[in-house]
A = this chain, B = another copy of it.
């Protein structure tokens, strides 16, 4: 047995931990100016004001960038880099997009290069990026503990910047910041986290070092997601899902994903769809097929969840999705597309790594079957 795990940042966990962020920032030493990359709707709330005040009290000037929405685009990375230039620290507050933008800006501001210089690993990232503090306010992407950053390039094509240099120095996990997330998004993001953990610990790259985090992540999310969805103010449940999402981020940072993410990326190639919803639909559609592989890792995942064996996983997952109020439907925008369209996207070169990493070989016929299953779902508003 051999494996490598990538470094894990300092983690401050718990309700109220956000209020300690300025102290932590000052603790880095030599921080004069911080760039805050924050979701637009949060920028106008007390969250942003409290952060700016706390940083000011430590003698740290603040510049804010919040002019982005949806998935990150190159223009967002460039604008955030411009704001971060000359800063000593970048703080990302928000969903995965805010964090990805903040992480890339901390590298590009340090080197003075355009983000495209680093896209698809074209050039090595700077060895000394700005310090980074990441504060996820959705519990799902795990971007706070991963080295992967996704954005749409100049022609709209999905690109990535990957490297340990983009990883956070400190992660602040404060469940109070997640309370305002609507129920359906809590469910979608939470299932995304669960699937990150599941795929990381059962795919071909799975190893003992990452399973520690993946199994704990699955237990945390599966044990608390229903409560977080139905009782939004339950900080204990919110905290457990948030911590689980963070651990799931560690798991995919080391071992990546599999077939459910092949499908969700393929769906996103056709029309706009929430990543968590798309991933959950892809997961549920393929899990009965996947567990037939009956590997030791699948058995271990089942055992980690308290199940008798891997064959019980599909029922467990569908029940969890039921309890979390999942509506199995695609957005209206998918009305004009066919199973053949989805199958073509699933076969596209950029989605092959997730096909190859899946522990069971995915034949072309399997792809057609999965695409048929997904595209036969109702198209809701």
Contacts and interface: CB of A to CB of B under 8 A. Distances in A.
A5 B11 contact: yes
Majority DSSP secondary structure for residues of A touching B: mixed
B7 A13 contact: no
Contacts of A184: none
A353 interface: no
A: interface residue count bin: 20 to 34
Given A4-B13, A6-B10, A10-B164, 16 more contacts: A1-B236, A1-B239, A2-B13, A2-B14, A2-B16, A3-B14, A5-B10, A5-B13, A7-B7, A7-B8, A7-B169, A11-B209, A29-B124, A208-B243, A212-B213, A212-B216
6 contacts: A1-B13, A3-B14, A5-B11, A7-B7, A7-B9, A212-B213
A140 B8 CA distance: 22
A149 to B, nearest CB: 19
Interface string A85-107: 00000000000000000000000
B1 A11 contact: no
A30 B127 contact: yes
Given A30-B127, A212-B212, A4 B15 contact: no
Interface in A1-44: 1-17, 28-30
Contact of A1 (B2, B10, B14): B14
A169 B7 CA distance: 8
Contacts of A236: 1
A7 B12 CA distance: 11
Contacts of A164: 10
A1 B224 CA distance: 15
Contact of A11 (B4, B13, B29, B124): B4
A13 B216 contact: no
Contacts of A5: 8, 10-11, 13
Contacts of A213: 212
Nearest to A10: B7
A303 to B, nearest CB: 13
Nearest to A127: B29
A164 B243 CA distance: 23
A31 B13 CA distance: 35
A164 B209 CA distance: 22
B6 A13 contact: no
Interface string A110-138: 00000000000000100100000000000
Nearest to A9: B7
A122 B213 CA distance: 37
Contacts of A9: 7
* Residue from A6, A7, A209, A236 having most chain B Cβ neighbours under 10 A: A7
Interface in A316-357: none
Nearest to A14: B2
Contacts of A8: 5, 7-8
Contacts of A15: 2
A34 B371 CA distance: 54
